[in-house]
Amino acid sequence: MTRWKILIEYDGGKFVGWQRQANGPSVQQALEEAVEGFSGEQVLVQGAGRTDSGVHALGQVAHLDLEKPMEARKIREAVNYHLKPHAIAVLEAEEVSEDFHARFSATGRAYLYRILDRRPPPTLDRGKVWHVNKRLDAEAMHDAAQVLIGNHDFTSFRAKECQAESPVKTLDRLDIERVGDEIHVHVAARSFLHHQVRNFVGTLRQVGDGRWTKEDVKQALEARHRSAAGPTAPACGLYLTTVTYPDAG
């Protein structure tokens, strides 16, 4: 038995999320079926992050176990062949030790959120960005975001259905920059609460359009109640970009 770590990119628009569900196709299901298609083995593909419906990934990491000995390049190519026509691609595959776990071995996760803040709607990036037809103040958003950095009770930014045992998390990075007609929100932490990043973005958008101030964001954090923060930003603008580990696995 060999454990394989795979790096995955996908467009989450047509999936119900990463995890297998009864109500539609998932990324996990597509990968497991692709592996069985070339290997004949039924496997469990376990991911580092359970992305929601509509959320994309540039650097999702997963692991799986195979009985049959194979080369890393062959696994990558074979999985990608059997993934057609799904918008999923395995970018890399590597053999790892049996104690490596894509989710529990991870020491950090990073996300990117894209806001297109121009009057005309997106065409090529439809379903890949949150379209806001009003110019936002990226500098004000970045300044306000800094009150969220550090170890806090993030109940105000936690989905009601979140299953995490504690709302306390340590946020390592929340940077906001303008890139042409887009605002990019860069977020990093060891782990996140359900909808935490999207709730950050929905709240900071209100700073960007002048309805909220930095002090309002601080008060929302201190309130420790979901109703105190802003709305949940749509899934389409969110990307899981990087998962980090203490070593190569």
Q: How would residue 249 be classed by pLDDT, with cut points 50, 70 and 90?
A: very low
**Whole-number average pLDDT of the chain:** 96
Q: Which position has the token pair 């049996």?
A: 98
Residues 6+ apart with CB under 8 A from 123: none
Q: How far apart are CA 27 and CA 14, in angstroms?
A: 9
> How many structural domains compose the chain?
2
Residue 22: its pLDDT value, please? 87
Query: Do 121 and 90 sit in the same domain of this protein?
Result: no
Query: Do 137 and 74 sit in the same domain of this protein?
Result: no
Does residue 11 carry a catalytic annotation? Answer: no
| pTM of the shown model | 0.95
Tens digits of per-residue pLDDT, 23-79? 999 999 999 999 999 999 999 999 999 999 999 999 999 999 999 999 999 999 999
| Residue 134 is assigned to a structural domain of this protein | yes
Query: Do 33 and 78 sit in the same domain of this protein?
Result: yes
Of 69, 96, 123, which closes a domain? 96
Secondary structure of residue 18 in the 3-state scheme: coil
Tens digits of per-residue pLDDT, 87-100? 999 999 999 999 99
In degrees to the nearest 10, what's the CA dihedral of 239, 208, 145, 55? -10
Catalytic one among 11, 52, 117, 143? 52
Domain hosting 140: range is 108-244
Q: How far apart are CA 171 and CA 204, in angstroms?
A: 15
Tens digits of per-residue pLDDT, 112-162? 999 999 999 999 999 999 999 999 999 999 999 999 999 999 999 999 999
